[in-house]
Amino acid sequence: MGRLDGKVAIITGAASGIGRGTAMRFAGEGAAVVIGDLNVEGGEAAVRDCKEHGGRAVFQKADVSSESEVKSLVARAVKEFGKLDIIYNNAGIGGAVGPLEKISVEDWDKSIAILLRSVFLGIKHSVPELRKAGGGAIISTASVAGLRGFDGLHPYCAAKAGVVNLTRSAALEFAKDKIRVNCICPGGIVTPILHRNMPGVKEAMEQLLEHGQPVQRAGHPEDIAGMALYLASNDAEWVTGQAMVVDGGLTVGSGFASPQAGAQQTPFPVQGFMGPSFEK
C-alpha cells in the first residue's frame, strides 16, 4: 500500500531534476501525476518513468509564469483523474546572475515571474480544487538562498525568500480548508539547472558539492523527493506554513572556501541569464 494511494498530484518542472525525481517517487507511492514543463521531450520521458514505477501520469506543456497555462494545468488534472489533492510548485531557473547594478529590469522581471509569480499562480488556481477534495497539500520549492544571501544571485535570493513568506501567509489563509501549505529549501543538489547536461560537468558538480556542507556528499533529487513525499502524505497532517530545510547541514556551516571555489568547473556565467535547463 502506497502513501499516496488514490491521490492526484501536479508537479511543475517535472521533466528533469527534483521534479522528475519527485514524480517517480509519487507515482511509486500510488499517486496519479500531471507533469507540467516546457520541455516536451523530457516531460514525455518522465511520464514513461512514472508508469514504469507503477503509477499513472500525463504530460502537459506549461509555462508556469502564464496564468492561463497554470489554470489549464489544473484543469487537465481534474479532467484526467477527476480531482486534485496535491500541487508541487517546483519549476525554476537560475535567472539573472551577476552584479546587481548590471541586471536589466527585463531579466529581473523574468526571473521573478518564473520563480515567484508561478508559485502564486499555482496556489491561486489549485485551491478551489483542493477545497472540493476536502483539503490537500501545496508544496513549493524555495531554497537555502531564500534564507541567506548568495553573491551574484540577487533575483533568485529575493524570489526564494518570497516563496518562503508566501508559504506562511497562504498557510494561515487556507488552514480552515484543511489545505496545508509548505515549502522545501534545498541546498546543493546536482540537477540540470547546475550542470546543463554538459559533458563532464555533472561529475565536476558532484565533486564540488561533496565539500559544501557538513554531510560530505552532494545532494540529489531523491533527497528532496523524500521530503516532498512526507509533506504530500497524511503523515504531515499537522504541518503547515513551514520552510523545510534539506541541505546536508549547509545552513549550519559551509565547507566552501570561497564563493569562487571550483568556478572554472561549472557552467555558471559570471553575468547574464540562466534559463530553463534544457535550453543551451
Q: Report the CATH number at residue 46.
A: 3.40.50.720
Looking at residue 257, what is its pLDDT? 40
Q: Which three cell numbers stand for residue 33?
A: 501525476
The answer to the question of residue 3 being in a domain is no
Tell me what pLDDT residue 261 has: 41
For residue 239, the model assigns a pLDDT of: 98
Select from 91, 94, 98 the least CA-distant residue to 111: 94
Locus of grid cell 570561497? 258
- 259 pLDDT above the threshold of 50: no
Domain for residue 276, yes or no? no
At 200, give phi and psi (nearest 5°).
80, -15
Give the containing element (helix H, strand E) for 38: none
User: pLDDT (tens digit, 9 = 90+) per residue, 27-73?
Assistant: 999 999 999 999 999 999 999 999 998 899 999 999 999 999 999 99
> Strands 32-37 and 8-12, how do they pair?
parallel
E-assigned strands of 81-173? 86-89, 95-97, 136-141
pLDDT at 264 over 80: no
pLDDT of residue 263: 41
What proportions of the chain, in percent to the nearest 5, are helix, strand and coil?
50, 15, 35
Domain assignment of residue 279, yes or no: no
Domain membership of residue 32 (yes or no) is yes
Of the residues 59, 108, 156, 278, only one is catalytic, namely: 156
Tell me the residue type at 252: V
230 is catalytic: no
Q: In the predicted model, is pLDDT for residue 119 greater than 90?
A: yes
The mean pLDDT of 22-26, rounded to a whole number, is 97
- For the chain, the domain total comes to 1
Task: Give the type of residue at 70.
Answer: V
Give the per-residue pLDDT at 1: 82
Q: How far does the chain reach from its first CA to its final CA, in angstroms?
A: 41
pLDDT score at 147: 96
Residue 63 maps to a domain? yes
Would the pTM count as exceeding 0.75?
A: yes
- Classified as helix, coil or strand, 2 is coil
What's the chain's average pLDDT?
Answer: 91
- Which domain covers residue 249, as residue numbers? 8-271
- Answer whether residue 208 shows pLDDT above 90: no
* Residue 163 belongs to a domain: yes
Q: Quick check: is 243 in a domain?
A: yes
The 10 Å Cβ neighbour count of residue 268 is 16
Question: Bridge partners of 57?
Answer: 33
pLDDT at 53: 87
Give the pLDDT mean for 117-145.
Answer: 98
